[in-house]
Structure 1
Amino acid sequence: MFAFFGNIILGVTPLTGPKALNETFGNSYARHDVIRGKPVLQLIGEELDTREISFFFDETFCDPAAQWATLWAAYKIKAAMPLVTGVSFDGRHFVIETLERDVLKTTRSGWRVVRLEATMSLVEAPIPNLLTAALSTAASQAAGLGSSTTKPDAQR
């Protein structure tokens, strides 16, 4: 499996791809106590989906320090970016909630990172479909354009 988070490549070939991908889905429920019997559940809605990806950067296929810097910048700017795993993209965007790294190997002098492992937790960042929002706004405004309630001088 390979993955892209925005323009950050998390795997080029099956040998360099992410080590693990965990997905979490959830629903929210409100609990209403009743006089007799068990409480009643009411569905509130879906929770934001989360992903946890474990991967590594190695000098055999990339510059680990440069890739980490790109990933760190994405974490710092808190921007929602698309997550593509394998060959599928479902249109959702995610932000980095937590980011961890373990430097596994450096050069003998210790100045350059040769291999590092990282884990990041992503949280879904729902981005509204701007076209749908614009069309629904236009439709709600257009409904009142020709009515007599919005034009007091119109003949009935």
Structure 2
Amino acid sequence: MKYALLGDIQFEVIVFGGIESKFATDYAEHARIEGKPRLQWIGDKLDEHSLSLKFHFMFCDPDAEISKLYAAMSAHIALPFVLANGEYKGEFVIADIALSEEFTDAQGGRLSATVKVSLRESIGAAGAKPAAPGVAKFGKPRPPGAKNGLKGKAKPNLMAAKLKAAVIAGREMLAAVQAARNMMKLAKALQKNPLKAVEQLRHGVPGFSKIVTAADRFGVNLAPLQGSVDGSASMLAMSGSVAREAKSAMTLLGDVNEQNMNGRMNAVDTNLSVIGNEADATSPVLAKMAAKTAVRESV
């Protein structure tokens, strides 16, 4: 499982089995004279999930991600928990955090860390009044503004589908951006071997092409949602900016060679810096959109 989502916090799970879940029910035990006790079901216990998370400086800022978790725990609020496949697990609070540092730099800065997070389910207030049924009784007047039949229902469904498609495209775009970042880091590490560095840079052409394709799909699906989804306008502008910078990088890398390698690398690094800044700003907004589709909120 690539990652899960808690509120607006995205994280990568170490392995597919990195999420452990516990479900239980509660029973009262009634003693009996000269016999075994009987059990009486009382209710279900709160669901619990334990996650093993890996934060590495090559993919994120470990300090920033860990700070988000601490802030969410300190806020004492329930957050929607959504798996990468879109499965909505419910509202959960962070019960405890266990941190294990693995690597640091020469100054003691955190480079890699494993974090174990325990989540406990948080249910709504007991006795909350349920919403009124969405039907009208025969012979009773309809509320003001009520519409006949299913008229007007198709648009919200279409918008929900567009939002889901935008979230999928946005995730693909962020993944492609991270792959491009990794490619550039490796190319820089190989600068003393121009032949290998050029070979690595040429691999970036299809990588940036993936960014363009995902950014265009993200924008196409997000365009109809302007004014209906928070942040959609800024995300639409972002997708255009990312596509332009990625196309520029593709052009620069298309004919890169050992003679122009350094200049092209610096220029692509500028493109990637803009793309990276846009992607970093997109990530929390995209996380909220993903949570919105998971809990099936109205758009």
TM-score (normalised: structure 1): 0.76
Give the alignment's Cα RMSD to 1 decimal.
Answer: 2.2
Is the partner of 2:35 in helix, strand or coil? Answer: coil
- Which stretch shows the higher mean deviation, 41-50 or 27-36? 27-36
Which residue in 2 is equivalent to 1:5?
6
User: How far apart, CA to CA, are the structure 2 residues paired with 1:134 and 1:86?
Assistant: 30
One-letter amino acid of the structure 2 residue matched with residue 3 of structure 1: A
Which residue in 1 is equivalent to 2:52?
54
Verify the 8 A CA contact 1:3 1:18 in the aligned structure 2. Answer: no
Which residue in 2 is equivalent to 1:66?
64
User: How far apart, CA to CA, are the structure 2 residues paired with 1:127 and 1:60?
Assistant: 39
User: Does residue 1:18 correspond to 2:19, yes or no?
Assistant: no
Which residue in 2 is equivalent to 1:76?
74
One-letter amino acid of the structure 2 residue matched with residue 115 of structure 1: S
Which residue in 2 is equivalent to 1:116?
113
Verify the 8 A CA contact 1:50 1:123 in the aligned structure 2. Answer: yes
Task: Write the deviation string for residues 121-143 of structure 1: whole angstroms up to 9, x where unpaired.
Answer: 11000136xx962438xxxxxxx
Task: Write the deviation string for residues 34-90 of structure 1: whole angstroms up to 9, x where unpaired.
Answer: 223211110001000100001111011111111111111001111101111121333
One-letter amino acid of the structure 2 residue matched with residue 24 of structure 1: K
- Which stretch shows the higher mean deviation, 17-26 or 85-94? 85-94
Verify the 8 A CA contact 1:24 1:49 in the aligned structure 2. Answer: yes
> Which structure has greater helix proportion?
2
Which residue in 2 is equivalent to 1:125?
122
User: How far apart, CA to CA, are the structure 1 residues paired with 2:89 and 2:100?
Assistant: 31
One-letter amino acid of the structure 2 residue matched with residue 18 of structure 1: I
User: How far apart, CA to CA, are the structure 2 residues paired with 1:39 and 1:103?
Assistant: 49
Q: Larger relative contact order (C-alpha < 8 A, sep ≥ 6)?
A: 1
Task: Write the deviation string for residues 93-117 of structure 1: whole angstroms up to 9, x where unpaired.
Answer: 100111011111111121x211111
Which residue in 1 is equivalent to 2:165?
none
One-letter amino acid of the structure 2 residue matched with residue 77 of structure 1: A
TM-score (normalised: structure 2): 0.41
One-letter amino acid of the structure 2 residue matched with residue 119 of structure 1: K
Runs of 4+ in structure 1 over 4 Å off: none
Verify the 8 A CA contact 2:23 2:48 in the aligned structure 1. Answer: yes
User: How far apart, CA to CA, are the structure 2 residues paired with 1:91 and 1:107?
Assistant: 37
Verify the 8 A CA contact 2:25 2:43 in the aligned structure 1. Answer: yes
- Which stretch shows the higher mean deviation, 34-43 or 56-65? 34-43
Verify the 8 A CA contact 1:10 1:18 in the aligned structure 2. Answer: no
Verify the 8 A CA contact 2:83 2:89 in the aligned structure 1. Answer: no
Verify the 8 A CA contact 1:98 1:121 in the aligned structure 2. Answer: yes
Gaps of 5+ in 2: 134-299
Gaps of 5+ in 1: 12-16, 137-156
